[in-house]
Amino acid sequence: MHDVFQRLVQLLDSHQARYRVLLHPAEGQSARVAEIRGTEPGQGAKAMLCSLKGADEVYGLVILSGDQKLDMKKVGTALGGKKAQLASAELAMQLTGCVIGAIPPLSFDSRISLIVDPQLIERYTEIAFNAGRLDASMVLATEDYLRIAQPRLLRVTQELPAESTQAG
CATH label of the domain that carries residue 7: 3.90.960.10
Q: In angstroms, rounded to a whole number, what is the distance separating the alpha carbons of residues 168 and 96?
A: 27
8 A C-beta contact, residue 104 and residue 63: no
State what percent of residues in the chain have pLDDT above 90.
81
User: Considering the domain boundaries, does residue 28 fall inside one?
Assistant: yes
Residue 97 lies in a domain: yes
- Residue 56: the pLDDT is 82
In a domain, 158, yes or no: no
- At 93-110, the pLDDT tens digits run 999 999 998 999 999 999
Confirm whether 35 is domain-assigned. Answer: yes
| Within-domain flag for 17 | yes
Segment 43-54 mean pLDDT: 94
Structurally, the chain folds into a number of domains equal to: 1
| CA atoms of 45 and 5, how far apart (whole Å) | 16
Question: What pTM value is reported for the model?
Answer: 0.90
Residue 148 covered by a domain: yes
pLDDT tens per residue, range 121-144: 999 999 999 999 999 999 999 999
Q: Domain span at residue 80? A: 2-153
Nearest to 76 by CA among 62, 65, 88: 62
User: Is residue 13 situated within a structural domain?
Assistant: yes
Which pLDDT does position 104 carry in this prediction? 97
